[in-house]
Amino acid sequence: MKFAATVLGSGSAKPTLERLTSAHVLNVHEHFYLIDCGEGTQVAMIKHGIQMMKIEHAFISHLHGDHYFGLIGLLNSMHLMNRKKPFHLYAFCELEEIINIQLRVASTTFSFPLVFHPLDSSKTQEILNNKYVSVTSFPLKHRIRTCGFLFKEKKRARNIKREFVRKHNIPVEWFQRILDGEDYVDADGVKYSNDSIVKIPGVSRSYAYCSDTAYHKEVVDIIRGASLLYHEASFADEHEDIALVKFHSTARQAAMIAKEANVGGLMIGHFSLRYKDPQLLLSQAREEFPNTIEAVDGLTVEIGS
């Protein structure tokens, strides 16, 4: 079962040919969750094989343009493709106003329900809970109200292995007994140990998204043990003072959060354009937390438990 994050935009405030502004897509069992939506996200989806019509939920961390300027175009294109399925949008309430005014001037009514879920940056709260995932929003520390997001895969149920069911004509009354842990004995008296015929659910996986934010220790408890953390890393050590003023993080600070929260892996991005090569940022992060990778446009990370 898939649990993978695809980076569509790894850049900071200004897009370049190599890095668009922030946008990630999380694939949870072939259900798709968009996180931030910088300008050009819809074309990046085509480029990197993400089908926009499959996106069900979008989460916009804050209303700086590099995190949402691509949303209106994405919504518009889904409308042009005659989407019918609802689209759930989790964002600060002003975004609804921004979308509505643009619909009004174009005399457009979307072909699909746009379901708006206002964020609240004053507290940590579960904002979505379905069969596959629970999503929690939590406050980050930025110049304007900003939320981080934690996606937790639902613990999968125990299941009898499909091949075994296909091969053996298991009487209906046996199903629940096997799921409850009993060994299966077939009509000929052959015994199959429960362990060998039941799929044990893996540990549930999780993805934490922290962008944009200053170094903010309060997130550690919330994202503790996440399988993968994406954390912005706008600056290098030498510009820690600028990071402080601009409410951004250094790569080292991102890694310190990863270390303190004991996450499985760290992905950093949102690099300031002053660094021609992110190698410096990557190496500073790895001094604190070796299992750090660089976000790159088009990269898909299969997230382990």
Give the active site residues. Answer: 66
DSSP, collapsed to helix, strand or coil, labels residue 197 as helix
Tell me which of 4, 31, 56, 73 binds a second copy, using CB under 8 A: 73
Residue 218 CB, nearest distance to a second copy (Å)? 22
Touching a second copy, residues 137-166 (CB under 8 A): 143-144
User: Which C-beta is closer to a second copy: that of 105 or that of 157?
Assistant: 105
Candidate ranges 98-106, 189-197, 254-262, 276-284; the one touching a second copy (CB under 8 A)? 98-106
Residue in the structure block whose two tokens are 């934010």:
213
Give the separation between CA 55 and CA 26, rounded to whole angstroms.
9
Of 142 and 152, CB closest to a second copy: 142
CA distances from 143 to 118, 289, 294, 303 (A): 19, 27, 25, 30
Q: Which residues contact 97 (CB under 8 A, 6 or more apart)?
A: none
CB 17, min distance to a second copy, A: 6
With CB under 8 A as the contact rule, which of the stretches 64-72, 116-124, 183-191, 282-290 interacts with a second copy?
64-72
Contact between 246 and a second copy by CB under 8 A: the answer reads no
Q: Does residue 94 interact with a second copy by CB under 8 A? A: yes
Looking at the DSSP bridge assignments, the partners of residue 58 are 34, 89
Are the CB atoms for 69 and 39 separated by under 8 Å? Answer: yes
Place of tokens 């209303």: 63
Q: How far is the CB of 104 from a second copy (least distance, A)?
A: 8
Whether residue 190 contacts residue 225, with contact meaning beta carbons closer than 8 Å, is answered with no
Q: How far apart are CA 255 and CA 288, in angstroms?
A: 6
Q: Give contact residues for a second copy (rule: CB under 8 A).
A: 13-17, 20, 39-40, 42-43, 46-47, 63-66, 69-70, 72-73, 76-77, 80-81, 92, 94-95, 97-98, 101-102, 104-107, 143-144
